Amino acid sequence: MDGPPPPRDVSLRNIIDKLAEFVARNGPEFEMITKQKQQNNPKFEFLYGGEHAAYYQCRVMAEQNFLKQQQQCNSGNNMLNQQQPPPHFTQGPPPNMMHHSDNQLSNNHDTNPFAMNQPPPNHQMWNSNISQSNAVVVPATPTNTNNSLAINITAQIEAINMQQNSLREQIRQSESNLTAQHTALMGQQKKQIEEAIEAAQNAQLEKQAEVRNISLKEMDAVLQPIIDSCTKDSISAGKNWILQHSSDSAKNNVVLQYLLKKYASAI
């Protein structure tokens, strides 16, 4: 029967697999520590019954079973090593040294007066072999890797947190840039709308003035001296021009709209 499907996100699957391995090796206390540190991290929702929680539990059980099998294999190997007898070495010189006759020893003594004081042949090599054979091999002390594993998973979690913080900062900057661009576009759009309205009003005013036989250029020439110097003569000339060209309500409306336009542009 197939187990729960793994997540499609490769990085999330690596986090789940690695954490399951560490929890199987170090016990549920390691899972509790990870929960406390990552309670606000959406990447670790599987620890709180979220998505892929079943896959995580399945991975923990698989790692625990694997460790049990390893321990059983190691225990069996240790028992086999204990049942094997240690190597046995016979004390004393090699057998061939016992077969020398007294005559041979006497002859050696006669030919070489120092022969009795010298060790028998291969004596030093024989003693060396015994010493090497009786040497006890001290097994290497197994290193405790729990701390290094905890540091490794913590470093990976910190790296993920740094990546998330960097992404959040990039999102914040993008939102700020979009807001500034939106404000600028709205300002440009408002200006374009105002200019379009003003152009339409000017076109309509010019058309009405043309229909009423009023020259806006001539009117502007009369009003400009009033704006520049505001003398008595300029005011009198402007007044007379307006009275001459305001013979009906339609012409009055054209003159009034143009005066309002000049006033709005002056302020």
What is the per-residue DSSP string for 199-265? HHHHHHHHHHHHHTT--HHHHHHHHHHHHHT--HHHHHHHHHHHHHT-SSHHHHHHHHHHHHHHHHH
Residues 6+ positions from 235 with CB-CB distance below 8 Å = 226
Provide the token pair at 259: 């005066």
| Alpha carbons 61 and 21: distance in angstroms, whole number | 9
Numbered ranges of CATH 1.10.10.790 in the chain: 10-71
- Can you give the pLDDT at residue 158? 78
Which positions ≥6 away from 237 have C-beta within 8 Å?
A: 222, 225
Could you report the per-residue pLDDT of 187-211, keeping only the tens digit for each? 888 899 888 988 998 899 899 999 9
- Give the pLDDT of residue 57: 95
Q: How many CB atoms lie within 10 A of CB 245?
A: 19
Is the whole model's pTM more than 0.75, yes or no?
Answer: no
Q: Is 33 exposed, middle or buried (0-12, 13-18, 19+ CB in 10 A)?
A: middle
Closest by Cα among 66, 17, 25 to 46: 17
CATH 1.20.1740.10 corresponds to the domain 10-71: no
Pair of tokens at residue 168: 């959040």
pLDDT > 70? residue 217: yes
Q: What is the pLDDT of residue 173?
A: 82
- Report whether 251 contacts 214 (CB < 8 A): yes
Q: Six-digit token pair at 107? A: 């002859």
Q: What is the mean pLDDT of residues 19-46?
A: 93
Rounded-to-integer distance, Cα 63 and Cα 25, Å: 8
What tokens does 211 get?
A: 């229909």
Using an 8 Å Cβ cutoff, are 92 and 83 in contact?
no
Query: Could you give the angle at the alpha carbon of 54 between the alpha carbons of 51 and 57, nearest 5°?
Result: 125
Q: Decide if 55 contacts 63 (C-beta within 8 A).
A: no
Higher pLDDT, 165 or 115: 165
CB 93, CB 120: distance < 8 Å? yes
Q: Is the pLDDT of residue 109 over 50?
A: no
Instruction: Over range 154-167, report the average pLDDT.
Output: 81
pLDDT tens, position by position, 56-105 = 999 999 999 999 998 888 877 766 666 655 555 444 454 444 444 444 43
CA 257 to chain centre: 65
Return the number of other C-beta atoms located less than 10 Å from residue 170's C-beta: 10
pLDDT at residue 143 is higher than 80: no
